[in-house]
Amino acid sequence: MSRDYSVYGLLIGTGASWVPTGIMPLWRSEERRAEAVPVPIWAIQRNGRTIVVDTAFDRALTGDAWASNFSYRPQAEALREIGVDIDEVETVILTHLHLDHATGLDHFPRARFIMQRSEYEFWTGPMSAYPPIARMCPAAVVQRLRSLHAEGRLVFLDGDHELQPGLRLVAVGGHTPGMQMVAIDTSKGTLVLCSDVAYVYENIAQRWPIGLYHDFAATILALERALTIASSDSLAVPNHDIQLWRKEPVVQLV
């Protein structure tokens, strides 16, 4: 296995609490729902090249009503902290198309965006006209995705895919129709970027799924699959746990 990957979590924004963000962790107490909510992007490096996972958000596509709940720093600034010029990023993996993961698209001018075909088809299809759907993937994002597709900058997958040796995309659904995770072979073992398969470490420790889902049964099975693939629970990385960024806005996982 290729074990020479480095993986970073880069904090882009932080919400003061879970309550106004619309993110629902299901099992959390009211006390825990008052904790801060981080919104990161992830950087995977090997042999001098960087792949980014998710784009975080941008007010231009989310709109003010949602973005005003979060602090924000530009994606380019975060990537510079690990020596990466955002204009040189050629590959961005989109785990799913919710607004906190996929509304920073225009910050990556040279990138191609890799996602599951079913994810694109759901959010840009007939359901996009319904307000509850549009709240999670706004009309401006749908329009931008269609434009990127026309430009040939979207790459669609139909299931699991080995992007390069030791780096695999794992299609699980559940949270959204085309939800995918990223599994990376590292010097510590196989690390899984769970994205929203797990919001916080308690989801992993308690084997308890998140509370916002397209298919509840698939959400349960997605978490099980993450924990089966990861070499240990400590290598299953949730997406929105403030524990990771309490000290610094950039953390190196491996």
For 30-87, the pLDDT digits (tens) are 777 788 999 999 999 999 999 999 999 999 999 898 899 999 999 999 999 999 999 9
Cβ proximity of 187 and 3 under 8 Å: yes
Mean pLDDT of 236-245: 96
Mean pLDDT of 191-201: 96
Domains recognised in the chain with CATH numbers: 6-252 (3.60.15.10)
Alpha-carbon 100 to chain mean position: 8
pLDDT at 182 over 70: yes
Of all helices (H) and strands (E), which one includes residue 160? none
CA–CA separation, 63 and 22 (whole Å): 14
Strands (E), the chain: 6-15, 37-46, 49-53, 91-93, 112-116, 154-157, 161-164, 167-171, 180-186, 189-195, 236-238, 250-252
In the DSSP assignment, the letter for residue 187 is T
Percentage of residues in the chain having pLDDT higher than 90: 87
Q: Are strands 250-252 and 91-93 parallel, antiparallel or unpaired?
A: unpaired
Q: Cβ of 68: how many Cβ atoms within 10 Å?
A: 12
Average per-residue pLDDT in the chain?
94
CA–CA separation, 57 and 78 (whole Å): 13
What is this structure's pTM? 0.96
